[in-house]
Each structure stands twice: as structure tokens, then as C-alpha cells.
Amino acid sequence: MAGPHLVYFADPMCSWCWGFSPVIEAIRHRFADTLPIRLVMGGLRPQTTKPMDEAAKRSTRTHWEHVHEASGQPFDFSFFDHEGFVYDTDPAARAVVVVRRGNMEKALDYLGLVQAAFYAHNRDVTDKAVLANIAQQIGVKRDGFLEAFDSEDAKQETWRDYGISHQTGITGFPTLIAGVGVSNQYSAITRGYQPAVRVVAMVEQWLSGAA
């Protein structure tokens, strides 16, 4: 990616990334086309097969409560009434990758919609039909989305994202880094959640040094 840019490592089913969603929107609003954001899927719990037990629900709920307190983002805690939910993050991540193929900005929009569907509206974003319905909200044709979603290419592309995260040394989400041109020199903006006012200020400070 030519010129100054950000790389956002995230997962659609990462609660702290949902907390960070308004921060990403603030960055997009503040810098618009002057500072593009490249979105990379981190791979929180891809291909998990074990249903959540009560201990997992309690642990997850605690995380959600912390995110809500820190960010003010809404959560529908009736999610924890579900029995047998398998917290597989791979389908939602692959869905974002499919949308990203068309347009990075649209992928960022889609990520926010999937997060809101899962956390605020208690929709099952491990279900490709739900993911296709959400894609339709931003003008993606349902049949084309489903065909791409089921393709081996999309599966491999998503796992390449996970590999990039691993090779970059990303150990948690959200992580936002900044770089210039095609250089491998990147600066960390934030590793983990911070409020928009702080993150935007850090991006501005980085830009002033990168100019």
C-alpha cells in the first residue's frame, strides 16, 4: 500500500474489537482518504468445535462486561442463554475477507455490521445465511457472497490473514499499526483497546513524524 497507512488486526467475534469499533470510525472520519486502513483478520478462535460450557460463558461474560464498561458499546447478554453455542470465529472472519475482495472500505463497514449483529443484537454470525443477509445490507449480492464464502480460495485467503498476524507477532486484538509505502518499517499505534480521543491523537503524532 503506497503512502502512509494503517493496518488493523481484528476479529469480528473479539469483544474488545467491538469496543474499538467507534475508534476505527473516528479514525475514518478524521483522516478519510488521506490515511487508508488495511484490515487483516487475526484469527481469535478459528475452527473451534467445542460448545461453550458454563465456565466458558462466565469467562466470556466477564470480558463483555469489561468492554461495555470501558467503551460504552451495547451488548445483548441474552446470548448466554443459548445452549450448545460453538464460538467458532472462522466463518465471520471469512465473510469479512470475501467482502474485502471488492473494497476495503466496504469490508470495514461490514466488520462493524457483523460485530453489531453479534454483540448488540444476539444474531448467530457463525451461520453463513446470517452473514449473507448482513452483506446484502451493504449491496453485496447474496448468491455471489455465498458462492465465494464456500470456496477453497476464500478459506485459504482467510488463513493467510491468520498467518500474517502470527508472523507479525500480533498476540491480541485489536492491534493497530502504521507504516509508509511498501516498507517493512511499522510503528505500533495501539495494542489493545484505547479510547478514540487518545488513539486519534497518537495517529496524528505519528503522521507528523512520517510526513
- What pLDDT, in 10s, does the model give residues 42-92? 999 999 999 999 999 999 999 999 999 999 999 999 999 999 999 999 999
* Percent of the chain residues topping a pLDDT of 90: 91
Q: Which pLDDT score, from 0 to 100, does residue 209 have?
A: 84
How many structural domains compose the chain? Answer: 1
Instruction: State residue 196 phi and psi, 5-degree precision.
Output: -60, -45
Q: Which domain holds residue 106?
A: 23-49+86-168
Within a domain: residue 3?
Answer: no
For residues 153-181, average pLDDT = 95
Residue 170: band (very low, low, confident or very high) from pLDDT cuts 50, 70, 90: very high
Residue 14 CA to residue 57 CA, distance in Å, equals: 14
Q: Over range 102-112, report the average pLDDT.
A: 97
Residue 48: strand, helix, or coil: coil
d(CA 116, CA 108) in angstroms, rounded, equals: 13
Q: Examine residue 81 and state whether it is found in any structural domain, yes or no.
A: no
The answer as to whether 17 is a domain residue is no
The answer as to whether 18 is a domain residue is no
* Domain-located, residue 198: no
Residue 181 has pLDDT above 80, yes or no: no
Going by pLDDT thresholds of 50, 70 and 90, the confidence category of residue 134 is: very high
pTM here?
A: 0.96
Which CATH number do you get for residue 101? Answer: 1.10.472.60
One-letter amino acid at 150 equals D
φ, ψ of residue 167 to 5 degrees: the values are: -65, -25
Residue 123 lies in a domain: yes
pLDDT at 1: 66
CB 131 within 8 A of CB 95: yes
Q: Is 184 domain-assigned?
A: no
Q: Give domain status of residue 42, yes or no.
A: yes
Is the pLDDT reported for residue 211 higher than 70? no
Is residue 183's pLDDT more than 80? no
The 3-class secondary structure across 162-188, one letter per residue, is HHHHHHHCCCCCCEEEEEECCCCCEEE
Residues 103-122 have a mean pLDDT of: 98
